[in-house]
Amino acid sequence: MRCLKDLNPKQLEAVQFFDRNSMVFAGPGTGKTRVITSRIAYMLESGKLPEARRILAITFTNKASNEMKSRVAAFGVDQKRVRIGTFHNFCMWVLKAYGDKINLSREFTFISSNQQLHLLKQVAKDANLMMKPNDLKNRISDLKNSSVDFEDYLNKTRSGTQEFQVAAADYQNRLYAHKLIDYDDAILHTATIFKLKPSILELYHNAFPYILVDEMQDTNRMQLELIRLLGGNAKHVMAVADDDQSIYGWRGALPTVIQEYIDLLAADKIILNQNYRSPQRVLDVANRLIQFNDGRTEKELVGRPNELGDDVIGRWFDTWKEEAEWVADKIVELHSAGMEYRQMIILYRSRHPSLKVIDEKLLEKGIPFQHFGKNFQNKKQLLSEFIVASMKLIADPNNEVVLSALIYAFAQRFELNDDFDLYEYYKKDSDRLTLDRLAQIHVEDEIDDAVQRTAEFCLSAKDLKSFAKLYDGLYKALNIEEDLAKYDETTRHEEKRHLDLMRDRMSKSVASTITDMLAEIELQDDSNHIDQRMNKVGVSTFHTAKGLEYKAVFIIALEDHFVPGRNGGRPDKEQEERRGLYVAITRAESKLFITHANQRTDWNGRIEAVRPSRFIDDMRKREVTES
DNA sequence: GACGACAGGGTTTTT
DNA sequence: CCCTGTCGTC
């Protein structure tokens, strides 16, 4: 069969395993996406999938979901017979269909993180809770992520103070009253429906007899419960995971979830350790490092035969400046030898002031580079947020939470003092603030003007049929162009790209209502998408580089309190830190460079003596050439 | 309650 | 450095 061609024995086993639920342990570069797509193709070609049934493939990130979609398409698979999506995308779909069973409005949309913070601020204030909005948000999210359904979550909130319980309940009530859900609710509500209404779950069992889960190590307890429910008794769930690449423990994705999956679903283990990405010398370093972790599933990575590769180079410097200088020189050297800038990446554990020197040296040597992740401005997405919030108001003009979030966004945009309550200011002595009222305010300044014009547009836009026209209208009414002009070049470019992408998605959406379209759009945020067309050296954290691969990888600042990070000294955290470094190492397709310095500047710019990372000893063997 | 002086502490990020 | 939070003073 065509779809089984070129698979190694272990991959073949994974593709054709149907006796029980399974957990495929896929080390880095072992072709896990290949296995998933081949399995999908195999189920269709072999007729294993009954007519009129579909395969459900769930990923955690949009990036992984898009990747899987295009790989499956490249295989020539009939797209109609497989549903590929993120956890949230799948749950949204279920909730749009059956949310009414738990009294969730069909009209729900997702609360944005700005809106959420704003709401939590109010909620905390009303409950007399002395907690920062962000802490409250994380606390609620942690509790949800470790819960198996909504009742379980409510029970867990009882561990908090009286004030916390009040705030948490109030938060949930206000979301409910304003047809909003947060990201965690999407999963929790779905699991709750499946538990309360077994007949609905049954429909999904029928529709999707086979289930695939990607990157299970990034999954938390709440998501595991959803998978367990969807799997039912069919024993046809296959999850793919790498416990050694589990680096998101702080948001509930602990390696223990993998073991829980195996226990709960009585899953068989299949191990993929044939690596197709890195030379053996790189793999040796990775293997040696990771074996110091406890409780892992052993999967010593084996490279392609006869591809020992170059020595892994370890270089230790006196100062952070020499380190950066050396890295930059090496990049120049590789580039003159024909390696493209885009094939190289510099990796570090966390942002730290002393890493500025990397930028300086790269600039000095005329090397184009690109930072990955959100290290630019936090203003990002503020502009698109206006558009989304305004559209929600067009669809639901009486939604006060959305309205207050929009006003709050205006306050942010015009950099008003945090103490000044713009919402109260507009509300004045009336009971509640409405769009009508805002449309009639007496215009005294720039802010009034912007708010008034937006309100006016929202009220008049009901008849606009096309999403793109709505977008264009808001773009004008909100004066987006003017705001863009205020930004510096990089931010403007980023914002514009984000806005254009949003417009594009809106115009392509086949949703029948604004709210449905928005729910879709809000799940497709790829503002941190890396533009590979730009031929630039990457500069990234270990985390952001996960899943990517580069010809040359530079791992810098390998010092204690850096790798492992400041809190990583604790034994439990140390293992996750080690996995982070393992992820970094296994990005290398050809050359790997590891560096540290003896001196680095601290937050005050003062020179500080630093110690080499304890992990260097773990990796050290003849493969690391020292000097 | 408003303001300035001081101390303390700063990860990783998706949906 | 830069953003918090706290404490003292007016």
Residue A375 has pLDDT above 60, yes or no: no
The pLDDT tens digits of the residues spanning A403-438 come to 988 888 888 777 776 667 788 888 877 788 888 888
Q: Do A465 and A472 form a contact (C-beta atoms < 8 A)?
A: no
pTM of the full predicted structure? 0.91
The answer to whether some atom of strand C lies closer than 7 Å to the beta carbon of A605 is yes
The answer to whether some atom of strand C lies closer than 7 Å to the beta carbon of A378 is no
What is the C-alpha separation between A115 and A417, in angstroms, rounded?
Answer: 18
Residue A624 has pLDDT above 60, yes or no: no
Q: How far is the CA of A604 from the C1' of B6 (A)?
A: 17
How large is the greatest C-alpha to C-alpha distance in chain A, in angstroms?
80
Using a 7 Å CB cutoff, list residues 239-298 of A near strand B: 247-248, 250-251
The answer to whether some atom of strand B lies closer than 7 Å to the beta carbon of A420 is no
Smallest CA-to-CA distance from A215 within A97, A2, A68 is with A68
The answer to whether some atom of strand C lies closer than 7 Å to the beta carbon of A233 is no
The band of A27, judged by pLDDT with boundaries at 50, 70 and 90, is very high
The pLDDT tens digits of the residues spanning A476-521 come to 888 888 888 877 776 777 778 888 888 999 998 888 899 999 998 8
Bridge partners, residue A172, by sequence? none
Residue A30 in marked binding region: yes
Listed ranges A326-330, A431-435, A444-448, A542-546; the one with the highest mean pLDDT:
A326-330
Pairing of the two strands A537-541 and A550-555 = unpaired
Provide Rg for chain A, Cα atoms. 26
Strands (DSSP E) found in A490-617: 537-541, 550-555, 588-601, 607-609
Residue A330 has pLDDT above 80, yes or no: yes
Q: Which positions of chain B lie under 7 Å from any protein Cβ?
A: 9-15
Query: What is A21-84 written as a DSSP string?
Result: -EEEEE-TTS-HHHHHHHHHHHHHHTT-SPTT--EEEEESSHHHHHHHHHHHHHTT--GGGEEE
Using a 7 Å CB cutoff, list residues 364-403 of A near strand B: 373-374
Q: Which residue has the higher pLDDT, A307 or A294?
A: A294
Close Cβ partners of A337 (under 8 Å, ≥ 6 residues apart): none
Tell me: cis bond preceding A564? Omega within 30 of 0 counts. yes
Q: How far is the CA of A170 from the C1' of B13 (A)?
A: 27
What is the C-alpha separation between A17 and A13, in angstroms, rounded?
Answer: 6
The band of A156, judged by pLDDT with boundaries at 50, 70 and 90, is very high
The pLDDT tens digits of the residues spanning A179-204 come to 999 999 999 999 999 999 999 999 99
What is the C-alpha separation between A152 and A157, in angstroms, rounded?
Answer: 9
Q: Which positions of chain C lie under 7 Å from any protein Cβ?
A: 1-2, 4-5
